Amino acid sequence: MKFHSTRGQSPPLGFADAFAAGLAPDGGLYVPETLPDITSLLAKHEALSPSPASYTQLAADFFTLFDHDHTPEEILSLCEKSYTSFDAPLVSLDDTTSVLELFHGPTLAFKDFGLQLVGNLFEDQIRRTGNSVNVLGATSGDTGSAAIHGLANKEGVNVFILYPEGRVSPLQERQMTCTGASNIFPISIQGSFDDAQKIVKDLFVDLEFKKQVGLSAINSINLARVLGQCVYYLYAHLQLTPQQRAKGIEYIVPTGNFGNVLAGWLTYKMGLPASKFVVATNQNDLLHRLFTTGHYAPGSVAPSHAPSMDIQVASNFERLLYLQLGRDGTRTAALMQEFRDHSKLDLTQHHFDNAIFTATRTDDAAILENTRAAKERFDYIADPHTACAFTDLTSDAHKILLATASPAKFPSVIEQATGHHPTHPTLEALKEKIPLFHTPGSDAAEVKAFVQANAAK
């Protein structure tokens, strides 16, 4: 299978090359040339009910549909290295509501499902090519710690993670800055996640610099991240009973950068049964405004109780736009240029699969109320991001709420809402360590110089 840029000006690549490139040379994002039918894959695993195959085997079967540069045996080995230590249980709250817990990985966040695999793919790439890799990414909290955990102390790779100073939780910051690994470079910048992400994109479109240092991406601009997240939607479906499936399935997805819900929508387009995807935003409600008004118009970022969703430019939206435009790269590129020129787009004529997408908005006061109500109604403790998924649970469909992080990462918010102070041993251990981070500056030129000086050779 080949992968095409959303902007249509770069040659298509195979899986391994698209993975290594991250961002296409024309500034676009890679998308599979076709979306394969997964109904036979689901049927294969449903035949194993009531004991579905391991997450590892499901992930391997899924990736063989896209990755034709590794053998099925190699893909299975990569998935075994990535997933055998954690799971994605579907927890029933009542007859019509379940929570897909995606925080049982090494960094206690859903980003582990994409980034454990990405880390092992980078290691495989280095082994195959003999070339070192320098990984650059931006984070609003969980991406950074998951990427760092997946790549810490791996030979031939240095990792540069930009994060906004004071806009991630203290424990998220410690997960990035207390590794002790010599190949990890957390970079604190002034501004928001969107500012950090802009620096990353600016450096990726500097093709000479990208080639010079062997730059690769870990954000969900890298398609392997999004494909890795598709798998847990299939796994959730396989854990449902026939009675639950008969009601229709509604996925409620906390998201800021749109990658988490895009993964679900892609699997729907491949054949996953779903009646609706609810885009659950916090008070930084760019996506809520898009799906309710048709206007894509970022505002200023307002720090919130759910910092990983404090985003006003959703990178993965470009993939949805491209697919909704019938894979018209020229039109997509023109719209993205219009967005760069005017910082807004009127997309009221495009509809964006409105039959399948809706959106909600949850501000900080409602996050506290949802957290309190989830504890009182279901005896369930939800982290502040997952709390956004508890808004307006009125549908008759069976609702699957994606729990994106452990509540132990945000103890002060949980305690404020419920009086309960959640902890986790791995996070408690970080409190005894000394953070190490870097402050080279907050513009692309300063970060570029820092990466050059510290790049893996």
Among the ranges given (52-61, 175-184, 448-457), the one the predictor scored with the smallest mean pLDDT: 52-61
Q: Which residue type, as a one-letter code, is found at position 429?
A: A
Gap between the Cα atoms of 91 and 102, Å rounded: 11
Q: pLDDT tens digits for 82-107?
A: 999 999 999 999 999 999 999 999 99
What does the H/E/C string look like for 39-96?
HHHHHHHHCCCCCCCCHHHHHHHHHCCCCCCCCHHHHHHHHHHHHCCCCCCEEEEECC
Q: What angle do CA 64, 70, 73 make, to 5 degrees?
A: 75
Q: What is the pLDDT of residue 457?
A: 80
Q: pLDDT tens digits for 42-87?
A: 999 988 766 666 899 999 999 999 999 999 999 999 999 999 999 9
Paired with 90 in beta bridges are 100
Q: What angle do CA 2, 4, 5 make, to 5 degrees?
A: 155
Look at residue 232 and tell me if it is in a domain: yes
Look at residue 372 and tell me if it is in a domain: yes
Radius of gyration in angstroms for the set of CA atoms belonging to the chain, rounded to a whole number: 20
| Region 395-421 average pLDDT | 96
Look at residue 82 and tell me if it is in a domain: no
Gap between the Cα atoms of 233 and 325, Å rounded: 25
What is the token pair recorded at 64? 């063989």
Q: What is the pLDDT of residue 144?
A: 83
Look at residue 79 and tell me if it is in a domain: no
Look at residue 10 and tell me if it is in a domain: no
Q: Is 327 buried (19+), middle (13-18) or exposed (0-12) by CB count in 10 A?
A: middle
Q: What is the pLDDT of residue 275?
A: 95
Look at residue 12 and tell me if it is in a domain: no
Gap between the Cα atoms of 403 and 337, Å rounded: 35
CATH code of residue 242: 3.40.50.1100
Q: pLDDT tens digits for 253-268?
A: 999 889 999 999 999 9
Phi, psi of 323 (to 5 degrees): -70, -35
Look at residue 243 and tell me if it is in a domain: yes
* Torsion sign over Cα 40, 43, 47, 48: positive
The distance between the two most distant Cα atoms of the chain, rounded to a whole number of Å, is 59
Gap between the Cα atoms of 448 and 441, Å rounded: 10
Q: Please tell me which residue in 111, 154, 201, 210 is annotated as part of the active site.
A: 111
- Residues of the domain holding 287: 87-110+224-423
Total tally of structural domains belonging to the chain: 1
Residue 457 falls in the annotated catalytic set: no
Q: pLDDT tens digits for 5-32?
A: 999 999 999 999 999 988 899 999 999 9
| pTM listed for this prediction | 0.93
| Region 127-148 average pLDDT | 88
The answer to whether residue 344 scores a pLDDT higher than 70 is yes
Q: pLDDT tens digits for 216-238?
A: 888 778 999 999 999 999 999 99
Look at residue 186 and tell me if it is in a domain: no
Region of 334 please: left (phi>0), alpha (psi -120 to 50) or beta: alpha
Q: Which of 339, 316, 322 is closest to 261 using CA atoms? A: 316
